[in-house]
């Protein structure tokens, strides 16, 4: 049931996220912000756009921004995992949906991890660390 | 070598073309040729998104960003994100 247990500084610090492209044998890793208000899986920042170059989106979807605007997004599927900052343990998220707005004006500076992913995890919050495990 | 073609233009566009030709003392043909050359020299702008992500293509057309290639191992991109080859 639970394959890995990792501790992430969940509330006050961003988490380490790894994205993998098997076709090009490359991975991207960096910090992402856990966003419980985001419906999707991963919301991309501008720095990672090129990582998705030449991939075809699996579908189009409309997200609603915090200002109530409908934002057209291309949805890409990619393998991802969350990594413990403390000991490097990795929670394999397998395939996740990545949302990239068609209009660059809606791209933000941070990578967001939303509920599509968080709902797959068992999350235990405490004062300093949060415990995440795959279910 | 010059080929002759006949064009169908909406009235308003024709009036604008005619006005511009008179104003600049040029022929209508020379203005159309110049406009067509300008259009054909910018293929990226008139092309619809055929490569993805669309946002990346749009940013490139606007020459807003230059991103480093994610194919380069250990190439640091932005926002502390690093791309590395997996062997």
Domain layout of chain A by residue ranges: 13-120
Quick one: pLDDT at residue A76? 95
| pLDDT value of position A10 | 47
Q: How far apart are the first and last CA of chain A?
A: 6
Name which of A30, A56, A102 is nearest B55 (Cβ-Cβ): A102
Is A127 an interface residue toward B (CB < 8 Å)? Answer: no
At A13 the pLDDT is 47
What does the DSSP 8-state code read for residue B8? -
Q: Looking at beta carbons, which residues of chain A come within 8 Å of B71?
A: 24, 26
Among A38, A15, A8, smallest CA distance to A130 is for A8
Residue B61 has a pLDDT of 77
Report CB contact under 8 Å: A74, B53. yes
Give yes or no for residue A133 having a pLDDT over 50: yes
Chain B residues close to A56, C-beta within 8 Å: 52
Between CA A85 and CA A16 the distance in angstroms is 7
> Is the CB of A47 less than 8 angstroms away from the CB of B83?
no
Determine the straight-line distance between the first and last CA of chain B, rounded to whole angstroms.
57
Identify the helix (H) or strand (E) that includes residue B30.
Answer: helix B28-40
CA distances to A43, A106, B59 from A65, rounded to whole Å, are 12, 9, 21
Residue-level pLDDT, tens digit, chain B, 87 residues: 888 888 888 888 899 999 999 999 999 999 999 988 887 776 555 555 567 899 888 888 776 555 444 444 444 444 578 888 876
**Inter-chain contact B70–A103, Cβ cutoff 8 Å?**
no
- Interface check A88 vs B, CB under 8 A: no
CB of A124 within 8 Å of a chain B CB? The answer is no
CATH superfamily to which A13-120 belongs: Acid Proteases (2.40.70.10)
Chain B positions touching A28 (Cβ under 8 A) are 70, 77, 81-84
Contact call for residues A77 and A59 (beta carbons, < 8 A): no
- Of B63 and A62, which is predicted with more confidence? A62
Highest-pLDDT range among A20-24, A64-68, B42-46: A20-24
Distance from C-alpha of A27 to C-alpha of A80, rounded to nearest angstrom: 9
């Amino acid at each position: 049931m639970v394959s890995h247990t990792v501790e992430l500084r969940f509330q006050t610090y961003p988490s380490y996220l790894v994205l993998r492209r098997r076709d090009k044998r490359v991975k991207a890793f960096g910090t992402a912000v856990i966003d419980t208000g985001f419906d999707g899986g991963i919301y991309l920042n501008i720095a990672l756009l090129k990582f998705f170059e030449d991939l075809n989106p699996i579908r189009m979807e409309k997200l609603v921004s915090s200002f109530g605007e409908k934002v057209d997004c291309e949805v890409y599927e990619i393998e991802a995992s969350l990594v413990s900052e403390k000991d490097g343990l990795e929670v394999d998220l397998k395939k996740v949906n990545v949302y990239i707005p068609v209009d660059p004006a809606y791209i933000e500076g941070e990578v967001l991890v939303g509920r599509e992913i968080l709902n797959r995890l068992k999350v235990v919050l405490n004062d300093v660390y949060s415990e995440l495990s795959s279910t | 070598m010059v080929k002759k073609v006949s064009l169908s233009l909406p009235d308003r566009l024709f009036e604008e073309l005619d006005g511009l030709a008179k104003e600049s003392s040029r022929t209508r043909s020379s203005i159309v040729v110049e406009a067509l050359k300008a259009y054909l020299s910018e293929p990226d702008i008139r092309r619809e998104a055929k490569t993805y992500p669309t946002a990346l293509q749009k940013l490139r057309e606007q020459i807003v960003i230059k991103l480093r290639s994610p194919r380069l191992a250990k190439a640091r991109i932005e926002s502390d994100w690093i791309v590395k080859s997996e062997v």
